[in-house]
Amino acid sequence: MKKNNYCRQLKLALLFIPIAASSQTMPVSLRADVTVQFVMNVNEKCARVAKDPVSGNLFYITSIGNVYEIKNINTSPYDVLLYTSADHGIDFLQGMAFIDSSLFLIGNQLIDSTQNIGMIKKAVLQPNGLRSWVNVATTDPYAQSYTWYDHGFSGIVVSPDSTYLYFSSGSRTDHGEEQNNYNLYPGLREEPLTSAIFRIPANSVNLILPNNAASLSQYLYADGTRNSFDLAFDLNDNLFATENSGDRDDPDELNWIRQGKHYGFPWIAGGNNNPQQFPGYVPANDALLNQSSNSYLNGYYHNDPAFPSSSGITFTPSIKNMGPDADKYRENSGSVNDGSTSGNFVSSFTPHRCALGLEFDRKNILAADLKGSGFAVCFTIGADSSGLDPFGNMGAICDPGQDLLHIELSPDGAGEYQMQVTTIVNNFLNPVDTYLDGNILYIIEYSYMGAGRLFKVTLPLDPVSVEEKNSRTDISVYPNPGSGIFTVNLNKKNTGAKICVYDVLGNCVLSKVCGGDVNQIIDLSCKSKGIYFVQLITDGKRIVKKIVLN
């Protein structure tokens, strides 16, 4: 069986065959003001990377259920295995997020080859430094197709005010075809629980998500998404999601996600109509359908009179890519063209590029042309005009792939967005996720077998933003860890500023109003050992430092 694209399949541990690629491949920056540094090797089958705001350490997960913490990332980095699927119960782990000291995981529990259960779990940090597991949400069982297209629960993001969790449930089909799993589910295409984006309260406990459209509607946020593996909020709290199309050479998408909108699946993919919805469709005559693809070889594209009607549904278009990069497309004649050089646009990325790791400069601190912008990595290796990569697998047609993209959004004049896309670093090896920490973008690669890699991309800062940042009042706390008496150094006099100390459950255990001394003493000697947070409120700003009482 041929290797499938990461985005199309995502059952990494079970179905992929290792790819032949050189371990000597090193990323190359295409900008003089952007640098790339290798950080460390990571374990195989990585799916996500994120930062724990309490420890300040990076975490990463693998699709087979492992959770790792990276220690000493700036000196001698190494990773520590914290949890496995035996701890959290998620067999197919695809997403991760943090809210303060709580770690959220999302994925699926697999019931043999017939059914899925979508799951969101939370690991709550305790005063002793350990975590306790809480079941946030669990779905009713829903049908697996038992094909390459059971995308499952994947992308998860926290609302800017930390009150909601937004998450993606991918499709169980490639393009809305019947997938009956050897006649276990006659006539079944998608389920109420698939191909959509949901929203639930972040403080949910033991929430059941039913596989019933009417009962599920209170949690349905947006519909018609095939596989929104990455979700991210921009500077203005707009939600965006990357979306890969299926085996046909339709563009991959970037969507502006809004409540109640429908993004086209399975009738529209990257601005193209799904031809299977029209009577008399002949797959062999479809110039956009690669005859080496899994869907073609298995007959999933076919004349389909029973294909459901889209009558009454208003589709929301994906974002137009005005170039100059990631904008190749295949014409109905079968030839490949470049959007920006031909005067056209692509909705939104070159087919099969598989854009992942979506991040935005929400702090608005980067250099002028990057300020407030988005970034994404593309997983898939480039292919020739036939659509096949050097190893005979489907890839990004006539496009390098495996790079870091700068995404600059702007209004299109019709109430939607358009974007300019530029490659700023290339030559990665299956980059799968990113985490933007100030002006440092961490990029983690997926490996099919053996070690993967973590890189640090340093982006240029806006000098004005840096000046503003440096002018703010900061604090330091020492000794830390400490045995009871701590000194809080304010760096300058802050008469009237307020210091509060909170435990990990959010309870205020000490508060004081600062006098004229730069150094303030806090006494926690009568408190239990564990992790606390010192909060300084001054000049309308809130600064928090973690301390450890041992």
- Yes or no: say if 59 and 49 are a contact pair by the CB < 8 Å rule: yes
Cα dist from 113 to 91, 118, 212, whole Å: 13, 15, 21
Tell me if residue 3 falls in helix, strand or coil. coil
Tell me, what's the pLDDT at 518? 77
Q: Which of 233, 156, 168, 158 is nearest to 202 (CA)?
A: 158
Q: How would you classify the pairing of strands 396-397 and 382-383? A: parallel
* 64 vs 50: CA distance, rounded Å: 17
Q: How far apart are CA 536 and CA 515, in angstroms?
A: 13
User: Residue 235: CB partners within 8 Å, gap ≥ 6?
Assistant: 360, 361, 362, 364, 372
pLDDT score for 544: 77
Contact 449, 517 (CB under 8 A): no
Instruction: Please answer whether residues 529 and 544 qualify as being in contact, where contact means their C-beta atoms are separated by less than 8 angstroms.
Output: no
Beta bridge partners of 253: 243
Tokens of 67: 């959770």
Predicted local distance difference test score (pLDDT) of residue 503: 77
Torsion, Cα of 87, 88, 93, 99 (10° steps) = -120
Q: How far apart are CA 291 and CA 525, in angstroms?
A: 71
CA distance linking residue 105 with residue 85, whole number of Å: 11
Strand partners, 511: 500
Closest residue by Cα to residue 290 from 347, 334, 245, 243: 334
Phi/psi of residue 472, each to 5°?
Answer: -75, 155
- What is d(CA 406, CA 459) in angstroms, rounded to the nearest whole number? 11
Residue 248 tokens read as 């046909």
Q: C-alpha angle with apex 533: 530 to 534, nearest 5 degrees?
A: 130
Q: What is the pLDDT of residue 148?
A: 93
Q: Contact, 387 vs 481, CB < 8 A?
A: no
Instruction: Give a three-class secondary structure readout of 441-501.
Output: EEEEECCCCCCEEEEEEECCECHHHHHHHHHCCCCEEECCCECCEEEEECCCCCCCCEEEE
| Residue 319: closest CA among 223, 220, 414 | 414
Short-list 515, 346, 337, CA closest to 420: 346
Domains in the chain, CATH or no CATH each: 6-465 (2.120.10.30), 472-549 (2.60.40.3080)
- Identity of the residue numbered 171: S
Residues 6+ away with beta carbon under 8 Å from 210: 139, 140, 192, 216
Each residue's pLDDT, cut to its tens digit, for the chain (550 residues) gives: 233 333 333 333 323 333 434 456 899 999 999 999 999 999 999 999 999 999 999 999 999 999 999 999 999 999 999 999 999 999 999 999 999 999 999 999 999 999 999 999 999 999 888 999 999 999 999 999 999 999 999 999 999 999 999 999 999 999 999 999 999 999 999 999 999 999 999 999 999 999 999 999 999 999 999 999 999 999 999 999 999 999 999 999 999 999 999 999 999 999 999 999 999 999 999 999 999 999 999 999 999 999 999 999 999 999 999 999 999 999 999 999 999 999 899 999 999 999 999 999 999 999 989 999 999 999 999 999 999 999 888 999 999 999 999 999 999 888 999 999 999 999 999 999 999 999 999 999 999 888 899 999 999 998 875 544 444 456 778 788 888 898 888 766 666 788 888 876 667 888 888 877 778 889 998 888 888 888 887 765 677 788 888 7
d(CA 533, CA 545): 6
Joined together, the tokens standing for residue 378 give 């593309």
- Reading the block at residue 534, the tokens are 């010192």
φ/ψ of 227, rounded to 5, equals -165, 75
* Element spanning 48, H or E: strand 46-51
State yes or no: cis peptide before 53, omega within 30 of 0: no
Cα–Cα dist 378/133, whole Å: 33
**Is residue 160 reached through a cis peptide bond, with omega within 30 degrees of 0 on the bond before it?**
no
Could you give the 3-state DSSP secondary structure of residue 118? strand
Whole-model pTM: value is: 0.83
- Residue 192's CB is within 10 A of a number of other CB atoms, namely 21
Give the other-Cβ count within 10 Å of 297's Cβ. Answer: 12
**For residue 441, what are its two tokens?**
């973008």
Residue 38 burial (C-beta neighbours within 10 Å; 0-12, 13-18, 19+):
exposed
- How far, CA to CA in Å, does 272 sit from each of 117, 253, 348? 32, 11, 11
Q: Which residue has the tokens 């999933």?
A: 300
As a whole number of angstroms, the distance between CA 184 and CA 143 comes to 9
Concatenating the DSSP letter of every residue in 421-436 gives EEEEEE--SSEEEEEE
Q: Exposed, middle or buried: residue 545 (CB in 10 Å: 0-12, 13-18, 19+)?
A: middle
Assess contact for 202 and 158: CB atoms under 8 A: yes
DSSP state at residue 352 = T
Residue type, 133: W
Taking alpha carbons only, the member of 174, 347, 199, 186 closest to residue 260 is 199
Q: Which residue from 401, 408, 432, 439 is spatially nearest to 422, judged by alpha carbons?
A: 408
Nearest to 286 by CA among 227, 246, 326, 346: 246
**Alpha helices for 327-396 (secondary structure H):** 339-342
Q: CA 47: distance to chain centroid?
A: 9
